[in-house]
Structure 1
């Protein structure tokens, strides 16, 4: 196993994965603002005891989402204030092996049904975290086996990373 270089962004992404993972599976998408820990403590000193003592770190702050909307649609409408240096999202999806793509239907509803029924499907939790300066970190955990290894890297979930990056740039 190759270890990823440590960074505040990596630690924030792994913290988000562990936090959401502790609540089990079959969850709705989750979204987090990423704020410099030092800035958060400066603005909210009462939170200092609850936050990491790493003043160079990044603290994830969970956001409320409309449960009736798809995360990808919500992300097209989000603009973060300047105090937010990045964001992270967690979603659960079904992944299929590449060879399964040839037999999948084009119709979106039929595609969802076929993926859910596919014998080689793998349920996964995807985590992506990005910052305004272009950095990213992602993680993927399979639902099975129970102690599945967490895979991580800068771009394991490129689609979700791009959706998140879109929330950090001002519209032209």
Structure 2
């Protein structure tokens, strides 16, 4: 994997998380197309004022507004498909998480599990940004509500979510 390309993907993941963070917590999922900045500027030269000079590897996140109605994130992602010019996608979601040792007592029923998780004393609220490219690279950014100044980064922080987002790019 080209280091500059991976750095551009990581930058895009961080940018979308920071963009969503500016609106505060308790937000719905937000979805972004990732397009090559150089191609975007070639098609829309007026954007150069906002975006600056085009790094050949840079990606520009384009927020997808008016997402389709959905009951679950899986349902939303199952209904998403991207045109060929979109190199990748990014998704920002908020979740409640527990340390692995605390998950042992989680009920099997989905609603009971949600209620249990919501009231668990070890729960943490997190905002996760996942970015994927059509040809496989992934980047993740995770921010905990209790420690907003800290950002965790890594390609495999939420592998199932990255896989589900990557499936939206499959031909």
Q: Which residue in 2 is equivalent to 1:41?
A: 41
Choose which of 83, 86, 89 in structure 2 pairs with 1:84.
Answer: 86
TM-score (norm 2): 0.91
Indicate conservation of the 8 Å contact 1:28/1:67, yes or no: no
Indicate conservation of the 8 Å contact 1:141/1:150, yes or no: yes
TM-score (norm 1): 0.91
Runs (4 or more) in structure 1 with deviation over 6 Å come to: none
Choose which of 89, 104, 113 in structure 1 pairs with 2:115.
Answer: 113
Displacement, 1:12? 0.7
Q: CA RMSD in A?
A: 1.6
- What pairs with 1:1-172 in structure 2 (closer than 5 Å)? 7-56=7-56, 57-64=58-65, 65-66=67-68, 68-147=70-149, 149-170=150-171
More displaced stretch, 51-60 vs 31-40? 51-60
Aligned residues between the structures: 166
Displacement, 1:53? 2.1
Ranges in structure 1 where 5+ consecutive residues have no aligned partner: none
Displacement, 1:146? 4.1
Distance 1:124 1:116 in 2: 13
Ranges in structure 2 where 5+ consecutive residues have no aligned partner: none
Indicate conservation of the 8 Å contact 1:125/1:140, yes or no: yes
Indicate conservation of the 8 Å contact 1:126/1:138, yes or no: yes
> 1:7 aligns to what SS in structure 2?
helix
